[in-house]
C-alpha cells in the first residue's frame, strides 16, 4: 500500500503530462492536421481516468476514487467544451483574417462606432449595437420584473379565482419557441395585420410599421420573458414566512406598512434575480430581434450576420461576442454587489401555518386587473398562432380554413407498405427530437453527479469546482454558438456539421440547471443516509447508485424535462451549428420567416407547442407535484 502510494504521484504527473502532450500534438498540426476519431477520444478519456485515480491514490479527494473521477472528468469536459471554445473565440477577436496577431485591428473592432455610437442621443439616426442592446435589455429587465411582481402578487395575494390561468402562464415559456410571440405580433400589428386592418377600416388610421424596431422587440421580449420573472417571484412570495407578517399586524401595522417593511425587503433577492434573468435573456435573445428589430440592430443579430452573412467576418463576430459576454458578466457582478451579504432566510425548520398578509385593497384590485389584462393579451397572441396554421393567410386577413400549411410541412404518404415522411419539416422535427433525446439524459447525468460531489463531499477546490459548473449559465447562447464555430471548425476537434456538436452544445449549455436542481434536491435528503451506507462499508459509488439516486427522482425528472424542452426550442446557439443534414426545428422556422413564409412557420410553431405541451403534461401527470400545506388566503381578511 505504501509503495502504491509512493508511485501514485509519479503516475498522476505522467498521465497529466500525457493528456497535455496528446492535445498539444493535435493542435500543433493546425488546420491541415487529422481530426480526432472515436479511438482518440477513448484514449484521452482513459488518460483522464488514470489521472483522477492517481490523484486519489496520492491522497487528494480524501482518497476517494469515485469522487476524484467525477470531479476530474467533469472539470476536463467543462474545460474542453466551455472554457476552450469561449477562450478561443475571444482570442479570435485579436487576430486578422490571415490568423496573425493584430492588436490594432482588435481595438478597431471593439471600439467601432457601429458598436458604441451615441448618435440616437445627439440627433442622429441610431446608436451602436452595444448601446441598443443595453437600452433594450434594461427596459426588458425592469419591465419583466415589475409585470412579474404584479402577477405574482395577484396570484398569491389576490384570491384563487384565476389560479388556473396563472399555472398556464407558468407552463407557456417552457413549451414556446423564442420567436413565436414575435410572429404573433407581426400577424396582429404588422402593416397588413389583423388589428392594423381593423383600425384602418373603422377609424381610417394609417398602416404603419411601428411594430418593427425598439417598440416591437421590447413588447415581444416582455411577453416572452415575463412568465420567467413571474415563476421566480411567485415562488419567493410563497416562501415568505406568514408569521413575520402576522407579527407586524399584531403590532398594529397597516397592510401597506406590512408590505413595505416586511414583504418587500424579503423579495429583494428574487427581484434581483428576475431583473438579471430578464436583462441576460434580452441580451442573448435572437429569435424576437431577427423578426421584429428592423433597423434597430442588437448584438445577437449583428453577431449572426457577421458569421452567416455574405462578408463572413469571424473576427468581427468574436469581438461582438466579447462585448456581449462582458455585459452579461457585469450584470452578474452588479447583482451580487446589490444583494451584498445580507441574509434573507424566512423559512426555517420550524412549523409555520400562518396566513399571508393580504394586500391593501387598492393595490390588490390594481394587481388583479393588470394581471388579467396581461394574461388575456398573452393568450390572444398564442391564439393567433394556434389559429394561424389552419387558415390560408392570417397575416393578410384571409381566414379561409385550410390545412395546406400542415400538409406542406408534415405530409405522410404510404409507400411500399411503410409510411414515408415527405413533408419539408419532418427532417428537422425528427433531428430535433433525436438531439434532445440524447442531450437530456446526458445533461441530467453530468449535472446530478456534479451536484452530488458539491453537496456531499469535502475536498480541496470544491467551491472552485462549483463555480466552474455555473459558468456556462453566464455565457449567452449566441456567444456559445460563435465559440463552437471558431473552436471546433478545424482539426483536431473538428465537430462542426455533425450531430455531436449539437448534442454537446445543449449538454453544457443546460448543465447548470441540472446542477442547481440536484443541489436543491440533495439539500432535502439527510446526510445520515449516506453515513449509514458508509458505515455498512458501501463504496461511494454504491451509496450514490443505491441510496442517493433513487431519492433524486424529482430532480432527475425536472432536469430531463427542462433539457428536452429547451433543446426543442433553443435557437440562439444552434442557429450557427445547424446544417442542411442536421437541421433543427427552430432554425427551419426562422428560415421560413426570413423567406416570408409566415403561414408555414406558424403551423410548425403550433406543432412544436402542442407536442411539447403534451410531453410536459404527461410527465407531470405521471410524477405528480409537491405542495406546501398552508391555510388558504381569505381575500379581504384583516
Going 327 to 329 to 333 to 339, the CA torsion angle's sign is positive
Give me 564's grid cell: 428536452
Give me 253's grid cell: 401595522
Residue length, the chain?
A: 638
Burial (0-12, 13-18, 19+ Cβ within 10 Å), 332:
middle
Taking alpha carbons only, the member of 141, 294, 151 closest to residue 221 is: 141
Give me 525's grid cell: 435528503
CB 113 within 8 A of CB 128: yes
Please report which confidence band the pLDDT of residue 604 belongs to, taking 50, 70 and 90 as the band edges.
very high
Going 582 to 585 to 589 to 590, the CA torsion angle's sign is negative
Whose cell is 443579430? That residue is 301
Q: Using the predicted structure, report yes or no on whether residue 623 has a pLDDT greater than 60.
A: no
Q: Set out the domains of the chain in order of their start, with CATH numbers.
A: 59-99+421-623 (1.10.3720.10), 117-341+361-394 (1.10.3720.10)
Contacts of 420 (CB under 8 A, 6+ apart): 412, 413, 414
How high is the pLDDT of residue 347?
42
Q: Would you list the DSSP string of 428-479?
A: HHHHHHHHHHHHHHHHHHHHHHHHHHHHH---TTHHHHHHHHHHHHHS-HHH
List pLDDT tens digits, range 147-205: 988 888 888 777 666 666 776 776 676 678 878 888 899 989 988 888 888 888 888 88
Q: Using the predicted structure, report yes or no on whether residue 228 has a pLDDT greater than 60.
A: yes
CB 43 within 8 A of CB 36: no
- CA trace torsion 149, 150, 152, 158 (10° rounding): 150
Q: Rounded CA gap, 90 and 483, in Å?
A: 8
* Other C-beta atoms lying within 10 Å of the C-beta of residue 544: 22
Question: Which residues are paired to 412 by β-bridges?
Answer: 421
List pLDDT tens digits, range 608-618: 988 988 887 77
How high is the pLDDT of residue 287?
86
List pLDDT tens digits, range 485-528: 888 988 888 888 889 999 999 999 888 878 877 887 777 677 78
CB 282 within 8 A of CB 220: no
Segment (H or E) for 609: helix 598-623
Task: List the alpha helices (DSSP H) in 58-179.
Answer: 65-78, 84-92, 103-110, 113-116, 129-157, 163-175
496 DSSP assignment: T
Residue 6 vs residues 54, 57, 499: alpha-carbon distances, Å:
10, 9, 44
What is the pTM for the complete model shown? 0.80
Half-sphere exposure of 365 (CA within 13 A, CB side): 3
Phi, psi dihedrals of residue 371, rounded to the nearest 5°: -60, -40
CB 302 within 8 A of CB 320: yes
Contacts of 553 (CB under 8 A, 6+ apart): 623
List pLDDT tens digits, range 14-23: 999 999 998 8
Amino acid at each position: 500500500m505504501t509503495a502504491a502510494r509512493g508511485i501514485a504521484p509519479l503516475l498522476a504527473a505522467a498521465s497529466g503530462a500525457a493528456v497535455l502532450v496528446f492535445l498539444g500534438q493535435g493542435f500543433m498540426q493546425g488546420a491541415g492536421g487529422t481530426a480526432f476519431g472515436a479511438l482518440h477520444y477513448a484514449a484521452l478519456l482513459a488518460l483522464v481516468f488514470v489521472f483522477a485515480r492517481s490523484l486519489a491514490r496520492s491522497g487528494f479527494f480524501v482518497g476517494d476514487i469515485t469522487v476524484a473521477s467525477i470531479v476530474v472528468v467533469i472539470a476536463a469536459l467543462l474545460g474542453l467544451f466551455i472554457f476552450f471554445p469561449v477562450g478561443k473565440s475571444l482570442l479570435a477577436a485579436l487576430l486578422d483574417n490571415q490568423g496573425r496577431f493584430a492588436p490594432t485591428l482588435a481595438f478597431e473592432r471593439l471600439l467601432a462606432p457601429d458598436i458604441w455610437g451615441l448618435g440616437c442621443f445627439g440627433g442622429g439616426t441610431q446608436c451602436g449595437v452595444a448601446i441598443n442592446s443595453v437600452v433594450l435589455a434594461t427596459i426588458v429587465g425592469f419591465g419583466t420584473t415589475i409585470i412579474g411582481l404584479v402577477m405574482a402578487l395577484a396570484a398569491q395575494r389576490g384570491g384563487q379565482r384565476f389560479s388556473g390561468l396563472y399555472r398556464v402562464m407558468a407552463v407557456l415559456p417552457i413549451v414556446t419557441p423564442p420567436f413565436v410571440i414575435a410572429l404573433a405580433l407581426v400577424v396582429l400589428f404588422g402593416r397588413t395585420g389583423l388589428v392594423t386592418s381593423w383600425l384602418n377600416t373603422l377609424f381610417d388610421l394609417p398602416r404603419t410599421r411601428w411594430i418593427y424596431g425598439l417598440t416591437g422587440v421590447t413588447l415581444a421580449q416582455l411577453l416572452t420573458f415575463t412568465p420567467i420573472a413571474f415563476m421566480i417571484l411567485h415562488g419567493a412570495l410563497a416562501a415568505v414566512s406568514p408569521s413575520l407578517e402576522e407579527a407586524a399586524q399584531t403590532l398594529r401595522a397597516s397592510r401597506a406598512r406590512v408590505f413595505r417593511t416586511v414583504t418587500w425587503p424579503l423579495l429583494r433577492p428574487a427581484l434581483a434575480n428576475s431583473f438579471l434573468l430578464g436583462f441576460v435573456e434580452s441580451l442573448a435573445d435572437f429569435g424576437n430581434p431577427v423578426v421584429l428589430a428592423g433597423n434597430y440592430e442588437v448584438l445577437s443579430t449583428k453577431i449572426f450576420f457577421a458569421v452567416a452573412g455574405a462578408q463572413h467576418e469571424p473576427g468581427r463576430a468574436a469581438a461582438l461576442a466579447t462585448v456581449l459576454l462582458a455585459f452579461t458578466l457585469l450584470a452578474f457582478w452588479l447583482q451580487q454587489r446589490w444583494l451584498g451579504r445580507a441574509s434573507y432566510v424566512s423559512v426555517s425548520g420550524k412549523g409555520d401555518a400562518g396566513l399571508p398578509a393580504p394586500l391593501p385593497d387598492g393595490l390588490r384590485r390594481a394587481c388583479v386587473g393588470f394581471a388579467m389584462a396581461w394574461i388575456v393579451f398573452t393568450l390572444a397572441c398564442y391564439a393567433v398562432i394556434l389559429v394561424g396554421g389552419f387558415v390560408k393567410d392570417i397575416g393578410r386577413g384571409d381566414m379561409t380554413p385550410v390545412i395546406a400549411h400542415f400538409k406542406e410541412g408534415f405530409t405522410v404518404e404510404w409507400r411500399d407498405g411503410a409510411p414515408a415522411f415527405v413533408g419539408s419539416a419532418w427532417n428537422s422535427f425528427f433531428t430535433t427530437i433525436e438531439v434532445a433525446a440524447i442531450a437530456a439524459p446526458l445533461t441530467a447525468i453530468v449535472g446530478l453527479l456534479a451536484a452530488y460531489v458539491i453537496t456531499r463531499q469535502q475536498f480541496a477546490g470544491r467551491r472552485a469546482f462549483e463555480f466552474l459548473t455555473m459558468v456556462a449559465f453566464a455565457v449567452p447562447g449566441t456567444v456559445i454558438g460563435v465559440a463552437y464555430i471558431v473552436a471546433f471548425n478545424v482539426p483536431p476537434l473538428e465537430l462542426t456539421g455533425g450531430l455531436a456538436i449539437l448534442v454537446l452544445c445543449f449538454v453544457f449549455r443546460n448543465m447548470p440547471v441540472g446542477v442547481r436542481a440536484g443541489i436543491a434536491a440533495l439539500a432535502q435528503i439527510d446526510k445520515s443516509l449516506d453515513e449509514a451506507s458508509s458505515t455498512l462499508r458501501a463504496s461511494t459509488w454504491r451509496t450514490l447508485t443505491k441510496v442517493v439516486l433513487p431519492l433524486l427522482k424529482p430532480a432527475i425528472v425536472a432536469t430531463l424535462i427542462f433539457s428536452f424542452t429547451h433543446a426543442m426550442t433553443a435557437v440562439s446557439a444552434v442557429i450557427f451549428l445547424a446544417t442542411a443534414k442536421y437541421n433543427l426545428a427552430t432554425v427551419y422556422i426562422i428560415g421560413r420567416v426570413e423567406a416570408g413564409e409566415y403561414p408555414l412557420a406558424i403551423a410548425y410553431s403550433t406543432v412544436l407547442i402542442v407536442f411539447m405541451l403534451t410531453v410536459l403534461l404527461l410527465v407531470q401527470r405521471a410524477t405528480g407535484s409537491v405542495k406546501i400545506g398552508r391555510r388558504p388566503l381569505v381575500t379581504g381578511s384583516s
